[in-house]
């Protein structure tokens, strides 16, 4: 006999939700189902494992069904729950910003290591800050750093401000609105950026497409904004300054060409998947 809605246990609800999400293309269906159920029930995900046999009332399932339906249409889990972990820190997110991506942690780890090795107060810029995840993570892990961050989206800057305040970093992170480095005052030891770098005609997965287009697509070739930043940054860098930009392997030739014409040296770093992910360039 089939189970009625009143008979459904937490474990059965998870099983059905995960199956539904898998049919709609989720590559992390069980994880998605668990995170969304924990959010709907306002418990920790770990708590779900302690009550698999608990029957779920219909009023508890109503908000969960809505979340699962939205996830099945491709809406990122981070937007549905309102936050995302990045560099072991929690960030508020909304549809105004890209969801912080683990690939970007490569850039932050490199920047943190370089800033710590420098051993003095570091003045840094975060261009295209979005949620503020790069700036906040840098400031959190490098106490001696001060950061000027900018974005051309007022809505993104509102989210970034929430995260700066959330991590009590108002004194060391300054937010500006404008194009690339143009609004930022003074010169910098370090410039970091995760700018749009997807070619305009690229077809993306539903989960990615639901994120803000202006933060994804970087022009016809995808390299336009990154190259513009690389061309402009030397004029804003101090002696022996560094630029670290996230890239896609598809735009590597264009960004390497920009580094070769404007810097004393450069190197490319790979992510955990073995893909070219960060271009680092430096001045004398």
Structural domain for 46, as ranges:
5-73
Given CA atoms 112, 115, 118, 120 in this order, what sign does their dihedral have? negative
For residues 57-61, give the mean pLDDT: 91
Q: Does 140 fall in a domain?
A: yes
Residue 186: which CATH number?
A: 3.40.50.150
Q: Confirm whether 250 is domain-assigned.
A: yes
How crowded is residue 172: how many other Cβ atoms within 10 Å of its Cβ? 19
Tokens of 205: 């997965």
- For residue 80, is it within any domain? no
Query: Is residue 51 a part of any domain in this protein?
Result: yes
Asked whether residue 53 is domain-assigned, the answer is: yes
Confidence of residue 119 (pLDDT cuts 50, 70, 90): confident
Task: Decide: 25 and 59 in contact? Cβ < 8 Å.
Answer: no
Task: Give the C-alpha separation, 13 to 30, whole Å.
Answer: 11
Please report the pLDDT score of residue 3 as a whole number: 41
> Same domain, yes or no, for 126 and 57?
no
Same domain, 59 and 98: no
- Please give the Cα distance from 136 to 125 (Å, whole number): 12
Among residues 156, 114, 104, the alpha carbon closest in space to that of 124 is found at 114
Longest dimension (CA), the chain: 76
What average pLDDT does the segment 38-50 reach? 95
Write the pLDDT tens digit of every residue in 60-98. 999 999 999 999 999 999 999 999 999 999 999 999 999
Residue 21 is predicted with a pLDDT of 97
Per the structure, how many domains does the chain have? 2
The mean pLDDT value for 111-138 works out to: 96
Do 13 and 154 lie in one domain? The reply is no
pLDDT band at 204; cut points 50, 70, 90: confident
Over residues 209-229, mean pLDDT: 94
* 61 plus 151 within the same structural domain: no
Residue 120 confidence class, pLDDT cut points 50, 70, 90: confident
- pLDDT band at residue 7 under the 50/70/90 scheme: low
In a domain, 49, yes or no: yes
Mean pLDDT of the chain: 94
Q: Pick from 13, 39, 73: which residue ends a domain? A: 73
pLDDT of res. 206: 82
**35 in a structural domain:** yes
Per-residue pLDDT at 5 exceeds 70 = no
Is the separation of the CB atoms in 64 and 82 below 8 Å? Answer: no
What's residue 6's pLDDT?
Answer: 58
The pLDDT of residue 4 is above 60? no
Task: Round to whole Å and give the CA distance between 260 and 265.
Answer: 7
Q: In this structure, are 66 and 103 located in the same domain?
A: no
- Phi, psi of 120, rounded to the nearest 5 degrees: -130, 175
Which CATH number does the domain housing residue 9 bear?
1.10.8.10
Q: Are residues 101 and 175 in the same domain?
A: yes
pLDDT value, residue 1 = 25
On whether both 53 and 133 belong to a single domain, the answer is no
Do 69 and 110 lie in a common domain? no
* pLDDT at residue 211 greater than cutoff 90: yes
Q: Are residues 275 and 195 in the same domain?
A: yes
pLDDT tens across 147-188, in order? 999 999 999 999 999 999 999 999 999 999 999 999 999 999
> Do 194 and 278 have their domain in common?
yes
Q: Is 111 in the same domain as 222? A: yes
82, part of any domain: no
pLDDT, position 203: 86
Nearest alpha carbon to residue 178 among 245, 232, 123: 232
Phi, psi of 46, deg, nearest 5: -60, -35
Name the domain boundary from 73, 96, 122.
Answer: 73
Indicate if 36 and 150 belong to the same structural domain. no
* Helix (DSSP H) and strand (DSSP E) numbers for the chain: 11, 9
């Amino acid at each position: 006999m089939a189970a009625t809605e009143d008979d459904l246990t937490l474990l059965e609800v998870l099983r059905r939700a995960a199956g539904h999400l898998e049919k709609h293309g989720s590559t992390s269906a069980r994880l998605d189902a668990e995170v969304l159920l924990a959010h709907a029930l306002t418990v920790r995900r770990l708590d779900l494992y302690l009550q698999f046999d608990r029957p779920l009332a219909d009023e508890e399932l109503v908000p969960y069904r809505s979340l699962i339906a939205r996830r099945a249409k491709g809406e990122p889990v981070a937007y549905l729950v309102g936050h995302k972990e990045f560099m072991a820190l929690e960030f508020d997110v909304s549809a105004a910003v890209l969801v912080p991506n683990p690939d970007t942690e490569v850039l932050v780890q490199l920047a943190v290591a370089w800033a710590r090795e420098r051993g003095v107060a570091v003045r840094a810029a975060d261009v295209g800050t979005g949620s503020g995840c790069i700036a906040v993570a840098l400031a959190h892990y490098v106490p001696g750093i001060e950061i000027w961050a900018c974005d051309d989206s007022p809505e993104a800057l509102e989210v970034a401000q929430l995260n700066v305040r959330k991590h009590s970093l108002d004194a060391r992170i300054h937010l500006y609105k404008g194009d690339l480095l143009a609004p930022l005052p003074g010169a910098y030891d370090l410039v970091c950026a995760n700018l749009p770098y997807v070619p305009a005609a690229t077809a993306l997965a539903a989960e990615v497409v639901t994120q803000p287009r202006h933060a994804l697509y970087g022009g016809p070739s995808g390299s336009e904004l990154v190259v513009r930043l690389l061309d402009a940054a030397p004029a804003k860098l101090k002696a022996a300054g560094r630029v670290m930009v996230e890239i896609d392997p598809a735009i590597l030739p264009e960004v390497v060409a920009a580094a070769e014409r404007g810097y004393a040296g450069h190197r490319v770093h790979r992510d955990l998947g073995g893909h070219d992910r960060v271009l680092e360039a430096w001045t004398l």
